[in-house]
Amino acid sequence: MIRKSIRSYPLRIGFVLMPGYSSISYVSAVEALLVCNQLMGEEYYRIENACLTGNSSVSSLGNKVTCEHCLDTLGPMDAYFIAGTSPGTYQHEEILHTWLAELDPDSVLAGIATGSYDLARAGLLNGYRAVIHWWKYEEIMSSFKSVVLSTDVYAVDRNRYTCRGGTASLDMMLFLLARQQGMELAQVVAQYFVDERLGNHPRMAPVPLSKRTQAEQPKLAEALALMEANIEEPLTTDDISVHVKISRRQLERLFKKHLDSVPSKYYQQIRLEKARQMLLNSSDSIADIGLSCGFSSGAHFSTAYRSQYGITPSEERRLSQKIVL
């Protein structure tokens, strides 16, 4: 697992871009990390690209990407991702294998698309459970007998991350985010991509605090826990500040600094997100859902929901039922 101490962010993630690397696989991996940075309002992950030689690499779509490094100048990273090609365009690159052979075997290594094939050829997946993106499974079985081959979309085993081509790298990165930053944040990042794909109104779910901020700001974490525990009968901002033993002004400053919001707005987002989950996953009436999430009337609930999500509660439920059918 990629780990750093609380104060060691950002994590430096080096992507080695093979000639003709798969654009969709690379972008799917990178976007997950960049969206995490965007949602958290901090640079948790720093992407640094490297090419085999020179200062640029050309993707499968013919796009020329300028790289910060070439292999012989790529220094220590928190993780190295080999961004490979499709099996049909794969070419063995001796310069990559020479570089891989010199890496510390305890390094965190990941293979995207045929990048996992390169790691296996270099012996860096021996004894690991891994996914190797290749055309002929029988060939892989006979060539890499020391690799515990997986038929899953991606595999994570200790300090090795491997996945298939296409958008499999997105699934793998969401798993990595859940492991490092918590399941709540990974779900928010996943929802971001779902909404972009469907063209929905942005789902402005409250962004959870990172584990680091929870540890550094216990009063803020305590305030959020109170909000989560009091959905049906919401507390006032004054009530919350009394419970956590700080002034209202101090509480508002904490919310502004770490969540870019005010307590009352963030609290309402939590209640609306709870209501949305109930709309999608229960048969309770819309009126009952509104009341159970602290809204005094159906009109109040509908107005707040529409302001947050762009549609009314009844439209949300109707759309979800159509999708299921």
What are the distances in angstroms from CA 201 to CA 195, 220, 306, 309?
Answer: 7, 29, 10, 6
Residue 198 token pair: 């469907």
DSSP state of 53: S
Q: How many residues does this entry show for the chain?
A: 325
Per-domain residue ranges of the chain: 11-198, 211-324
> 278 and 243 in contact (C-beta within 8 Å)?
no
Checking if the pLDDT of 320 tops 70, the result is no
Which amino acid makes up residue 177?
L
| Residue 109: closest CA among 128, 127, 124 | 124
Detail the DSSP E strand segments found in the chain.
11-17, 45-51, 56-58, 64-66, 69-70, 79-83, 109-112, 129-130, 148-149, 154-157, 160-163
Which amino acid makes up residue 277?
Q
> Could you identify the residue written with the tokens 């009109």?
299
DSSP state of 21: B
Query: What pLDDT sits at residue 204?
Result: 56
Checking if the pLDDT of 166 tops 50, the result is yes
Kindly state which CATH superfamily the domain 11-198 is placed in: Class I glutamine amidotransferase (GATase) domain (3.40.50.880)
> 11 and 45 in contact (C-beta within 8 Å)?
yes
Please state, as a whole number, how many other Cβ atoms lie within 10 Å of the Cβ of residue 63.
11
Q: What is the rounded radius of gyration, in angstroms, for the C-alpha atoms of the chain?
A: 23
Q: Which CATH class is domain 211-324?
A: mainly alpha
pLDDT tens figures, 194-229 = 655 444 444 555 666 777 777 889 999 999 999 999
> Could you identify the residue written with the tokens 């997105």?
170
The residues, ordered by sequence, that sit 6+ positions from 168 with a Cβ below 8 Å of its Cβ are 25, 28, 131, 153, 154
pLDDT tens figures, 30-80 = 999 998 888 877 889 999 999 998 888 988 888 888 999 999 888 899 999
